[in-house]
Amino acid sequence: MTLLQAAAVAATCLCSLVAGFLFAFAVVIMPGLATLGDAGLLRGFQAVDRVIQRNQPLFIVMWAGSVVALLAVLGLGLWQLPGAIDRGLVIVAALLYLAGVQAPTMAINVPLNNRLQPLDLAALDAASLQQAREAFEPRWNRSNAIRTLCAILTSVALAVLLLRL
């Protein structure tokens, strides 16, 4: 197995794990939390996000490792791949992932998470809880839908590349 093939396997696996993680938020976690009312959704999301923000090691390996592996595939692929189709798959995967998953995460989702974390939900009245939810949930979910689609498409592009290597 070449270094490019090993990097492509790692990137495909890790980006697919990220896609599954985001997909789970989109179709299970957020819809489930949404049934709990304003305080329940906010409290539940705070608890889940707190695990991530405390640098859960396996999450960090998955999230950061996906970027490192994909950048390795990009660098090695542009240098080693002979065909335009294969190089195109690498470029598309990298653009989808960096612009469609990582950028929205840093520009939208993480700032929304960070604004939610310090809220003392027990001290807020019903109107304030509703306002906090409305400032968080719709935008977070829209961004997550984009991240999920882009992560899935990245995984597909990388899987196709693997089949061609």
Q: pLDDT tens for residues 69-120? A: 999 999 999 999 989 999 999 999 999 999 999 999 999 999 999 999 999 9
The 8-class DSSP code of residue 122 comes to G
The structure's pTM equals 0.94
* Residue 147: its H or E element: helix 126-164
Cα four-point dihedral sign 116, 114, 154, 91: positive
Helical segments of 54-125, H only: 57-80, 84-97, 103-104, 110-116
| Domain with 140 in it | 3-164
Buried b / exposed e along 102-133 (16+ C-beta atoms within 10 A): bebbeebbeebbeebeebeeeebeeeebeebb
Rounded CA gap, 98 and 92, in Å?
10
Q: What's the structural domain count of the chain?
A: 1
Tracing tokens 């976690």 back to the chain, one arrives at: 29
Read off the pLDDT of residues 46-63 as tens digits, 9 standing for 90 and up: 999 999 999 899 999 999
Q: Write the CB contacts of 34 (distance below 8 Å, at least 6 apart in sequence).
A: 41, 137
Structure tokens at 60: 């960090």
